[in-house]
Structure 1
Amino acid sequence: MKQPLLTTDFLDRAVDLFADDVGIVAEDGTEYTYGEVGDRVNRLSNALRERGVEKGDRVALLSKNSHYFIETLYATTQLGALFVPLNFRLQPEEYDYLVGDSDPDVFITDAEHAGTVTHLQDEGGVDEWICYDADDAEAGQWDDYEAVLEAASPDQPERPDISEDDDATILYTSGTTGDPKGVVHTHRTQHYHAMVHAHHVEFEDDDVLLWTSPMFHINGWGHIYGLTGIGGKHVIVRDFDPQTVFERIVEHDVSFLGGAPTVLNFLLEHNEEHDVETTGANPVRVETAASPPPKRTIRRTEDELGWRIIHAYGATETGPLITTSNSPRRIQDGDKYDIVNKPGFATINTEVRVVDEDGNDVPCDDETKGEVIARGNQILDRYWNKPEATEEAFTDRVEGWFHTGDIATMDANKMLTIVDRKKDVIISGGENISSIEVQDVLYDHPDVRLAAVIGVPHEKWGETPKALVVPHDGADLTEEEIIEFTRDRLAHYKCPTSVEFREDLPQTSTGKIQKFELREDYWNDDEDRRVN
């Protein structure tokens, strides 16, 4: 017997089995049982249908982490429409392209972000505009979210015939090398990823997840599906703040959270300064992704915070996660931190390879570099309105495999080590230098809070490594000290030849340092190198 794999399955199960259990704790502390979540989702679905939303239409959402983010996702997909969550950190003009490309029928936002898209209300295209706490919006014409729900029926709407191969979401990439690409995931790809991910991060029905990672990023790494389906509890953090994170962990006995390496460093720094309680009644697992964590960060997170790290790897296009370090057996057989530092081996029913320029597998020697390619049920269906980009992504080196653009090695245990993005590899005097390797050494310095290494022009070598460093408060670092620190630990050709100290570095909402912005100051005459 074949059952379609639909994103709606997860909330359906939670409402059926856990209706009386608290499913969501909102930012303001309001608790919603899964039965109440189901009613609110149905109300929003009925309201969207009254506003003309049909199967195949798009509903856009602009919001930080919130309970209505979860509601909008399920309300949209049970109508067979496509959910389009947008990055809340963009400038107003950047939404022009995203809205024009996805062409939503309904746009939902909150009062904080209403002003960034109000200008679009005069341009037509979007028929309906809904705002959470609409009375607080400074401009624009909005229907109030809660009033919309109150006026709608809580009965489940009649669902259209939805296939597992129908589109479920459009998730936009950062657009660092041109216009953002809309990554289309079907019901099947999202469902499959959620099931696999729930296994590898060990979700159980008594898990309590603290939302520190942005929900808009690949639908919160799949937690909105997986944790809901298992009956766990979502605790919302709208704005990341270390003190708030630790307080919520203790108050709600949090057992799981996500955090990019930069997030972990902020939490470590706060704990070091204030010596806070880091766990409640439950042990804490933290999943780190977005960029490779320095070993020092892993060691300190486990030793000082008492949390168990699960390192994972993937991209918006891959579900996101296609590898995991979570293997107690392998940790017993090797150095704990060396293993957790790797993003790991392929998740269940996922194939991951590292291939050279000709598409041949590189040796599993943990040294030979190649591009990571993958295939599995969680890989994107296509890029929205970009057939040429879709074709290139699946045909560049090997036909039928998704090409990630990440450079890695693979060891004898089939575990990956991400070396760099293709665009971030520094080629100096013909030698390939991994910026991640150099950054990892910089993070070993006790006075370094943030670090990025980029290639900058060099008359003799073509380009050379430059370190951009954010010191800890009160630190008195010098360029000579940083360079000497790396030369004691790396081959000299890999070491930075210059160091610049900054107060902060540009980051995405998931904690990735935006190197394309850093390169702009040095490659103005070479657009290809500046943005690629």
Structure 2
Amino acid sequence: MRKPLLTTEFLDRARRDYGDMEAIVATTGERFTYEEFGDRADRFSAALQDRGIRKGDTVAVLDPNTHYHLEAAYGIMQIGAIHTPLNYRLVPEDFEYILNDADVTAVFADYELAGKIESIRDSVPTEVFVTNDPGEVDGEWEDFDSIVESAGPAYDRPEMDEDDVITINYTSGTTGDPKGVMRTHRTETIHAYLTAVHQEIRDDDVYLWTLPMFHVNGWGHIYAITGMGAKHVCTRGIDAESIFAAINGEDVSYLCAAPTVLNMLLDHYGSHGVSTTGAADVRVATAGSAPPEATIRTVEDEFGWYLKHVYGATETGPLITTSDARRYFEDDDPDRFAVKKTQGMGYLGTEIRVVDGNGNDVPEDGETIGEIVVRGNQVMDRYLGKPEATEEAFNERVEGYYHMGDLATVDGNGMIQIQDRKKDIIVSGGENISSIELEDTLFEHPNVSEVAVIPSPSEEWGETPKAFVVPESGDPDDTDVSAEELTQFTRDNLASYKTVRRVEFVAELPTTATGKIQKYELREREWEDEDSMVGQG
């Protein structure tokens, strides 16, 4: 039998099997059962259809991790419209590009964020604007709760195919404009299945939303947590005190945390000695470059949490590997940290390779470096409107595999470990930052002649952008502009998380014989005291 894989099945199952059980703990203090969650999603579906939204239309969501995002996401998908979550750290110009690129017809925006959309409202194709508190927003916005209440629960669910695109997630624009990653019912569903298995999600889990829901649909947790009938604990941003309070107050059993968040928790724990668990054992997932061994040791030995290290990209679902390979270590074995620091082995049904420039697999010696490529059912369908970029992403070194852009080794057990990055990206606090975008911005300053931006090691963020600037005067001691002024210049023109944090004035930049800037030399110098040239960000 072949049954289509549809994202709507996750909420359908939860309502059917866990309808009377608590589904969401809202930031407002409200609590919703799965039947109440489903009813609000139904009513949002009806409200969208009342406003002319149909299957295939694109609806954007700009929201911190509140219950509104969950309700809106399922309300959108239930009518076959395309859920497009937006990174709330972006600036209005970024939103203008995305809303036009995806031809967004309707948007829900949290009242604290709606101003970013209002400011570019006349420059986008969007016609329907909904928020959760119109009184706090300039312009004409409809109220989510009011339209949900008045719409009624009846809506028309269209026939859907598992190969229909159901969500578009935008990359961080590491090379040029952000790219819309088009994901189907099938890719989302299979990724959620894999996440449920490898992250050991159960119906009695209490999941704390520290990971942004906009970030590849919260690593698929809007599906996996819902479908398993577990409980969502929502947040409006994160800080260490509130995380520990939620863990204790709601008996949280599972959360995700970038290495920078783990460091924040460690600092708070060291200063305040708070309780790290409630009534439940805690699992924590972290992604990308592994946290330092000392961080993993404290999380596991002092917090009493079990850490899972995973890896992926927006284009891959995101999750494609895990270092949670317990046949390779004992829970109390200090050697387990050597395993957990790797990006690990492929998820079920996922083929991970490390290949050289000719597309051949590198030796499994833990030393030879190649690029990570992946093939699996959770990998994206394509980039929106970018066939050439899609072709390159899947075929640059080896045909039919998505190319991750990360350089790694692979050991005798088949576990990969990232050593460097092929792309000009900086991963700071879990966010991808384009060095090219920062360079283009700094070039606009009249006192900047040449500039190269690289990742610089940061204890707080893993990596942070650093600019090497040749001033217009050519003299690093006579610049006519300060490092602080250039930092503010990037802050004024880009999303706050992209701000250049460090500036070094130089007389010249290292170049090849043809004049190409040798960023690798700058990185080698900047990271000479570190174990690798990839931060724990």
> Normalization by structure 2: what TM-score?
0.81
Please show how residues 63-82 of structure 1 align to structure 2 within 5 Å. 63-82=63-82
Does residue 152 (structure 1) correspond to residue 173 (structure 2)? The answer is: no
User: Aligned letter for 2:271?
Assistant: E
- 1:292 Cα deviation after fit: 2.6
2:254 maps to a residue whose letter is: F
Q: Which amino acid aligns with 2:314?
A: T
Unpaired runs of 5+ residues, structure 1, are 427-434, 443-447, 460-499
Measured in 1, the distance between the counterparts of 2:270 and 2:70 equals: 34
The 1:454–1:113 alpha-carbon spacing in structure 2 relative to 1, beyond 3 Å, is closer
In structure 2, relative to structure 1, the CA distance for the partners of 1:209 and 1:451 (3 Å cut) is: closer
Judge conservation of contact 1:237–1:245 (CA < 8 Å) in 2.
no
Paired residue secondary structure (2:113): helix
Q: Report the secondary structure of 1:368's partner residue.
A: coil
Corresponding residue to 2:241 among 240, 243, 259: 243
One-letter amino acid of the counterpart of residue 304, structure 2: G
How far the C-alpha of 1:79 sits from its partner, in A, is: 0.8
Asked if 1 retains the 8 angstrom alpha-carbon contact of 2:283 and 2:306, the reply is: yes
Partner Cα distance (1:517, 1:385) in 2: 34
Aligned to 1:364: 364
C-alpha separation between the residues in 1 aligned to 2:24 and 2:505? 44
The residue that corresponds to 1:379 in the other structure is 379
Q: Distance in 2 between matches of 1:150 and 1:457?
A: 55
Q: Summarize the Cα distance change of 1:530–1:30 in structure 2 as closer, same or farther, 3 Å threshold.
A: farther
Distance 2:8 2:30 in 1: 24
- Residue equivalent to 1:429: none
Q: 1:454 deviation in Å?
A: 7.8
The one-letter code sitting in structure 1 at the alignment partner of 2:144 is Y
Q: Secondary structure at the match of 1:214?
A: coil
Partner of 2:106: 106
In 2, Cα distance between the equivalents of 1:528 and 1:161?
Answer: 53
Write the letter of the residue equivalent to 1:244: S
2:288 is equivalent to residue 283 of structure 1: no
User: What is the Cα deviation at residue 119 of structure 1?
Assistant: 2.3
C-alpha contact 2:96 2:124 (8 A) present in aligned 1: no
Q: Does 1:311 align with 2:309?
A: yes
1:518, CA displacement in angstroms?
A: 6.0
Structure 2: distance between partners of 1:154 and 1:456? 54
Please give the alpha-carbon distance, in whole angstroms, between the structure 2 residues aligned to 1:295 and 1:86: 33
In structure 2, how many angstroms separate the alpha carbons of the residues matched to 1:102 and 1:273?
Answer: 46
Would the alpha carbon gap of residues 530 and 280 (structure 1) be closer, same or farther in structure 2, given more than 3 Å must change? Answer: same
Report the counterpart of residue 143 of structure 1 in structure 2.
142
Distance 2:2 2:393 in 1: 30
The equivalences for 1:162-177 within 5 A come to 162-177=160-175
Is contact 1:7-1:190 (8 Å) kept? Answer: yes
Matching residue of 2:56: 56
Task: Return the alpha-carbon distance in structure 1 between the equivalents of residues 518 and 235 of structure 2.
Answer: 38
Q: Are 1:9 and 2:9 matched, yes or no?
A: yes
The answer (yes or no) to whether the contact 2:23–2:34 under 8 Å persists in 1 is yes
Aligned residues with identical type, % of pairs: 48
**C-alpha displacement of 1:122:** 2.4
Closer, same or farther: CA 517–7 of 1 in aligned 2, 3 Å: farther
Distance, in Å, in 2 between the alignment partners of 1:115 and 1:458 is: 34
Distance in 1 of aligned mates of 2:466 and 2:89: 27
Q: Is the 8 A contact 1:110 1:134 kept in 2?
A: no
Residue in 2 aligned with 1:83?
83
Residue identity matched to 2:303: L
The farther-off stretch of 334-343 and 315-324 is 334-343
Question: Where in structure 2 are the equivalents of 1:247-326 lying within 5 Å?
Answer: 247-326=245-324
Whole-angstrom distance in 2 between the partners of 1:521 and 1:143? 50
Tell whether the 8 Å contact from 1:135 to 1:144 is kept in structure 2 after alignment: no
On the 8 A contact 1:131/1:145 being kept in 2, the answer is: yes
Asked whether the 8 Å contact 2:467–2:504 carries over to 1, the reply is no
Q: Which amino acid aligns with 1:142?
A: W
The corresponding residue for 1:189 is 187
- Partner of 1:346 in structure 2? 346
1:455 Cα shift? 8.9
Deviation at 1:290, TM superposition (A): 3.7
Aligned to 2:96: 96
- C-alpha distance in structure 2 between counterparts of 1:58 and 1:129, whole Å: 13
CA contact (8 A) 2:410 2:417 kept: yes
- The TM-score with structure 1 as length reference comes to 0.82
1:404 matched to which residue of 2?
Answer: 404
Kept in 2: contact 1:259–1:286 (CA 8 A): yes
Which secondary structure does the structure 1 equivalent of 2:265 belong to?
A: helix
- Alignment size in residue pairs: 467
Query: Secondary structure of the residue that 1:60 maps to in structure 2?
Result: strand
